Chain A
């Protein structure tokens, strides 16, 4: 049978590829959050593999056995309304599977949304903001800012504060964990951590227009000591980030990597608490708005929105 043959090849290919030689980025995690999601993915793949095998086996058996060429000319298929018992069986089993996966999902979702556990140190807060088509990383604690590259200490939770100077972007370092959106009117928090020193690739995963494909950044994870040295060196050598310089960086286009002392958080604060307070008009600079727009801006505190 062609069908059977084709299907067997399919299953075989999937199996080989998933257990393949080169580890796929998402399944080769370098931190606790990435490990959790990789585990969830593998649990779901195996659970679903069982479902697929059962359905395929049943399918191949039935289609082979009941094909017309396998039966006598005068065979008249019977009229069967259905079977309550069987229908309950194939409702109940999927319900159990979904229940199992739901437990896995809820537990793991809470886990990856929270600060990773098992570290002694407080999380390092990094503001990651996107603009067409770059990433800006502000280290308020260290008072430095980088463009398109990220240095992080290993074995310490990192709390990313995500927002955007433009379209919705998605901050994603596949080997450290899942992605989250950076948006213009609110700040999202993404908790990650790296256990293994090394270089990882990060990117914007959400389409943002013409330069989207190249909106990537490099991540270097290193022991805390090395990280501290790097910070010290930057503070000694880099130029300060001025408001004008930052305006220039925001212009649409691609940039290489660069480093500054000071952060843009002082003169261009992130849209934190925007909706709760409804006082956006008091902010000096609205993310994403150009100089010209600012002049025309109305006082929002008098508006109901």
Chain B
């Protein structure tokens, strides 16, 4: 029994028991459903072993939506707990676990996955490629992410959740002050999924640099692809820092090293620096693809080309460089002194310049356009004003002397939610609605989509604007409760009401998906939005090989030219297409990594050694495997093209 005692949750409460039941029921439901409908084989052949970037994208999407639900439930519980003074709905420990997991889940497992979903799905199509450069690695990236996320999520019911905040500052997160295995989960789960992200970064840089359609020079790439390229460059530069920081943190926790401890020469400022050297670029890893999506959508639904293409690219490059030069603004209050803080204040505020350029370019794309208010467009239009408010408060926070008063308060919380939600989440939803017909061959309901937009857009403001005020009134963040005399009550109550509105908005999106699956017409054209980039030049849903004939490009909007000016996009004839084979190894390797992580979390070294051998075996297998892929014959292509509604010229 002693062996199992370690898996007990240190502070069990109703929320934890409820989650246990929910997880158990979901697993039983999935198992029974798959068996009843005899879908195990289908699941394995078509999804778990796939190396197709579109299917991997869809799996990222499903995972991201699940994580959005998890993180959303956390958020509602937090707002409910703080809605009234001295509330006892949650205890301090539960609240600490919940805001920690909310942050980690939303940033690492929801937003990152959502971006990966859309990049995986759209980027190869936008550049006229048949897959990413390394399809098998792409599958491995997904499974590392997925099992990292699963490892993190089981912490709540096995052994205890991390509870030191999403930034997991040492020494609080060290064994001196966090004895439970929670932070071990944090270290290992982030390490595993971070590895997946790093591999994706390398994969997509290669894909975008090497696999573009003939004629598509860098300056003729769609803006979303540009944003993906820059994002992945940031990933490759930033994620190794996280890898090293997590490794040091893991060593501190498991092997009693003293990198971040309070004694024996440990430096508590070191973790904060390492974390934010990764953490700030991470913010731009999230926001840049979102900017790319807005560029696509705003241009499509203004029926105009993107204004200032070159300055859009230059500003993104500028943002990516600056993103590495601002990390100290996360802790102006650490005592670096006026000189260091002044320098970092200026670099921080400087980011407002390229961001401002982008905002004005979008506005001038709308100008002289013919604006159609579809759901994706509504989200993009909602983004501009709300993000502007989030952005200008960011400039305010960047002013070091003033930051001494905003730091660690609800003002900061309001700022970053008003940047991330309209910036990233709106873009994800907009991208979801926009590319949905390309993914699944039918459209999401517009009416429900617009309702969800209004609920979410208004609720975001209702939820987060009051926090500016309570922050300036001295409410620190991460307090599980406060006394009535502080006067924070009213602002937090308004926030809670807004949070309910947000929940309704997201529920409407889920209902929309259900409703559209049942009732939406399947008879839609390949280009339902009258869009401008290459992904719309192929069928919906997209055949496995993406394009029967690789398109040739000679402008930033070749597909638009094809529609309007009679430009010939597909020259040549059908030829056999070389495609990669499916493989179960990435899934298996992810699973072994899960066991490896779990073994490390609990310091079960025998399992850790076995799992490490398993990982090495998977790598060895790949090294000696002779897999040259397969060819799709011309007859097969002709048949597929005919079935999908006639070949493209």
Chain A contacts to B: CB under 8 angstroms = 2-3, 6-7, 10, 13-14, 17-18, 20, 22, 24-27, 36-38, 40-41, 44-45, 48, 51-52, 55-56, 58-59, 62-63, 66-68, 71, 75-83, 86-87, 90-91, 94-95, 97-98, 101-102, 104-106, 108-114, 132, 162, 164, 166-168, 170, 172, 174, 177-181, 183-186, 188-189, 201, 203-213, 275, 280, 286-289, 293, 297-298, 300, 303, 305
In the bound complex, CA of A102 to CA of B402 (Å): 12
Q: Which residue on A lies nearest to B389, using beta carbons?
A: A52
Q: Please determine whether A101 and B370 come into contact, CB atoms closer than 8 angstroms.
A: no
Kindly provide the distance from the CB of B186 to the nearest chain A CB, expressed in whole angstroms.
15
Q: Please determine whether A56 and B388 come into contact, CB atoms closer than 8 angstroms.
A: yes
Q: Please determine whether A287 and B262 come into contact, CB atoms closer than 8 angstroms.
A: yes
> A51 contacts which chain B residues (CB < 8 A)?
388, 392
Contact of B335 among A86, A111, A188, A305 (CB under 8 A): A188
Q: Please determine whether A27 and B472 come into contact, CB atoms closer than 8 angstroms.
A: yes
> A186 contacts which chain B residues (CB < 8 A)?
269, 335
Quick one: given A166-B262, A168-B268, A170-B407, are A213 and B482 in contact (CB under 8 Å)? Answer: yes
Q: Please determine whether A59 and B384 come into contact, CB atoms closer than 8 angstroms.
A: yes
> B364 contacts which chain A residues (CB < 8 A)?
82-83, 86
Q: Please determine whether B454 and A2 come into contact, CB atoms closer than 8 angstroms.
A: yes
Q: Please determine whether B177 and A209 come into contact, CB atoms closer than 8 angstroms.
A: yes
Interface: B580 (CB within 8 A): no
Q: Please determine whether B335 and A180 come into contact, CB atoms closer than 8 angstroms.
A: yes
> A87 contacts which chain B residues (CB < 8 A)?
308, 311, 357, 360-361
Q: Please determine whether B469 and A24 come into contact, CB atoms closer than 8 angstroms.
A: yes
Q: Please determine whether A77 and B361 come into contact, CB atoms closer than 8 angstroms.
A: no
Q: Please determine whether A297 and B263 come into contact, CB atoms closer than 8 angstroms.
A: yes
Contact of A37 among B309, B352, B389, B402 (CB under 8 A): B402
Which of B142-150, B339-347, B495-503, B507-515 participates in binding chain A? B339-347
In the bound complex, CA of A71 to CA of B37 (Å): 52
Nearest 9 pairs of A and B residues by beta carbon? A178-B404, A188-B335, A82-B308, A167-B172, A184-B262, A48-B392, A288-B262, A108-B401, A305-B265
Quick one: given A6-B458, A48-B396, A201-B474, are A62 and B265 in contact (CB under 8 Å)? Answer: no
In the bound complex, CA of A98 to CA of B349 (Å): 6
Kindly provide the distance from the CB of B609 to the nearest chain A CB, expressed in whole angstroms.
29
> A297 contacts which chain B residues (CB < 8 A)?
263-264
In the bound complex, CA of A210 to CA of B176 (Å): 14
A-B contacts, 26 of them at CB < 8 A, read A3-B382, A14-B465, A24-B472, A25-B474, A27-B472, A44-B395, A55-B359, A102-B342, A102-B345, A105-B345, A105-B400, A108-B402, A109-B341, A172-B408, A174-B474, A178-B401, A181-B331, A181-B333, A185-B268, A203-B476, A205-B407, A207-B172, A209-B164, A212-B92, A212-B478, A286-B262
> B359 contacts which chain A residues (CB < 8 A)?
55
Q: Please determine whether A10 and B465 come into contact, CB atoms closer than 8 angstroms.
A: yes
- Between A44, A76, A303, the greatest number of chain B beta carbons within 10 A of the residue's beta carbon is seen for A44
> A13 contacts which chain B residues (CB < 8 A)?
465
Quick one: given A59-B384, A82-B310, are A185 and B266 in contact (CB under 8 Å)? Answer: yes
Which of B297-305, B431-439, B540-548 participates in binding chain A? B297-305
Kindly provide the distance from the CB of B342 to the nearest chain A CB, expressed in whole angstroms.
4
In the bound complex, CA of A297 to CA of B262 (Å): 13
Q: Please determine whether B262 and A132 come into contact, CB atoms closer than 8 angstroms.
A: no
> A162 contacts which chain B residues (CB < 8 A)?
335
Kindly provide the distance from the CB of A198 to the nearest chain B CB, expressed in whole angstroms.
15
> A210 contacts which chain B residues (CB < 8 A)?
92-93, 96
Kindly provide the distance from the CB of B385 to the nearest chain A CB, expressed in whole angstroms.
6
